[in-house]
Amino acid sequence: MVWPNTAERDADGNLAIGGVDVAALAEVAGTPLYIYDEATIRAQCLAYREGLATGVENAVVTYAAKAWLSHALVEILVDESVNIDVVSGGELYVALQSGMPPERITFHGNSKSVAELEMAIEAGVGSIVVDNFDEIDRLYALSVAAAAPIPVMVRINPGIDAHTHDYRKTGIVDSKFGLGVQNGDAERAVARSLDNDMLDLLGYHAHIGSQIFETETFTAAVDAVVDFAVAMRERFGVTPRKLSPGGGFGVAHTPDEEAPDARSYAAAVAQAYAAAIATSGFDSAPTLVIEPGRSIVANAGVAIYRVDARKAIPGVRTYVSVDGGMADNIRPALYGAVYSAELVAAGIDGPAGTSVTLAGKFCESGDVLIRDVELPPVQPGDLIAVPAAGAYCLAMASNYNMALKPAVVMVAGGRARTVQKRESYQDLMSREVTTNQYLSVKHSDQRAG
């Protein structure tokens, strides 16, 4: 379903989420506003856990923080026994500050700096997923001073071409992510990890892409990871403790799109995993780790905009311009992502809808949120709700045109709480240095000396 589980309309057609009237909430919280439904997030976490339990005993759901990260979300994940994966020092910092136990954090990324690796090791993260040989070299260097062996997984690139936008493919041979299985890099990375007692090789990871709907693609990833683990046991006699086919489970962004639900994705992965392990010859199943990001939060989140202007170009199209756009949701401009929209106060017997173009407020012709959407004749001041906005919108938000990042509220049981404040104009100035502060930069000849 494209809307949060608790979304409903009253007898007059007014939208409520989590038992909270959306128009009244927008009055006090302002717009653009992102509303997250706590019940939907919790239901998704549970659905993944239950789906995994249909196939395997030892399984872990690890949320990919890049989809959206917030203190309030981390608290919910901790409560729902869902772990977290991070891809930067910033995500790691926020996850730790928000109370995620370090051992439940996985650190991913194809370009981890020495400082980020140090931070992860000092914090005691559960695993660092190595993505290239330079990273292994860095871990070798850092392991000398490490208090305990550094837990690592090797990210393999199995060469699977997932059906998704080119920008979201990660498992094909020509990818910046992962170590190739076909060309032997993955095996060499395993050898290097095993060569150093201060690296504790936990197992293998693959992630083939994002917004993928076909369960067969995920089962192919499962098979690829298990096959690789079997090959490594044969080659090096090493048994993995953890295996992961990654995340990437697709969601519906519009009411006419259909996506498998979280439980079905997890069940398909778990059952494929159980079948693969049964023929693998491993005495017991290594822990299965899945990494959903988008599908935990996308449909829990709804973006609320206020209409600022309407412009009809006769015979061409009607633009309805709202107070947000590509600064809070770059996905239509970046991927051609398609969203839907409805009026917050839909009215029951209102006039029929016509097709309009929902435009953002930013200074780019490409800042169009929805190219053609049926809406009743909206006027400035009307509120518009865009569902399925919970993932990769705020997470990819910018200050383009000095936009203020939107406020975020979490709704549950008829109550709304602010979980992220709207940025202020003062915030925009907070990084500006208004007195001259010269840096002591050496000339190149001084540096050489």
With binding defined as CB under 6 A, does residue 64 bind ligand LLP? yes
Q: Which residue is nearest to ligand LLP (CB)?
A: 293
| Binding residue (CB under 6 A) for ligand LLP from 42, 169, 207, 361 | 207
With binding defined as CB under 6 A, does residue 112 bind ligand LLP? no
With binding defined as CB under 6 A, does residue 108 bind ligand LLP? yes
> Would you please indicate which residues are annotated as catalytic (active-site) residues?
363
Least distance between ligand LLP and beta carbon 176 (Å) = 11
Distance, CA of 407 to CA of 422 (rounded, Å): 4
| Binding residue (CB under 6 A) for ligand LLP from 242, 263, 331, 361 | 331
Instruction: Fill in the per-residue mask, 273 to 292: x = in contact with ligand LLP (CB under 6 A), - = not in contact.
Output: ------------------xx
With binding defined as CB under 6 A, does residue 171 bind ligand LLP? no
> Which CB atom, from 246 or from 301, has the smaller least distance to ligand LLP?
246
Tokens 């559960």 sit on residue: 126
Count of all residues that appear for the chain in the document: 449
Least distance between ligand LLP and beta carbon 316 (Å) = 30
With binding defined as CB under 6 A, does residue 211 bind ligand LLP? yes
Residue list 285-324, contact with ligand LLP (CB under 6 A): 291-295
Least distance between ligand LLP and beta carbon 293 (Å) = 3
Least distance between ligand LLP and beta carbon 14 (Å) = 30
> Which CB atom, from 6 or from 217, has the smaller least distance to ligand LLP?
217
Least distance between ligand LLP and beta carbon 127 (Å) = 12
Find out whether 17 and 39 touch, Cβ atoms under 8 Å. Answer: no
With binding defined as CB under 6 A, does residue 249 bind ligand LLP? yes
With binding defined as CB under 6 A, does residue 405 bind ligand LLP? no
Least distance between ligand LLP and beta carbon 115 (Å) = 21
| Binding residue (CB under 6 A) for ligand LLP from 247, 286, 325, 332 | 247
Residue list 150-169, contact with ligand LLP (CB under 6 A): 168
Find out whether 150 and 139 touch, Cβ atoms under 8 Å. Answer: yes
| Count of residues that interact with ligand LLP, criterion CB under 6 A | 21
| Binding residue (CB under 6 A) for ligand LLP from 20, 59, 67, 181 | 67
b vs e for 65-104, b when ≥16 Cβ sit within 10 Å of the residue's Cβ?
A: bbbbbbebbbebbbebebbbbbbbbebbebbbebebeeeb
Distance, CA of 193 to CA of 186 (rounded, Å): 11
Instruction: Fill in the per-residue mask, 79 to 98: x = in contact with ligand LLP (CB under 6 A), - = not in contact.
Output: ------x-------------
Binding site for ligand LLP (CB under 6 A): 64, 66-67, 85, 108, 168, 207, 210-211, 246-249, 291-295, 331, 335, 392
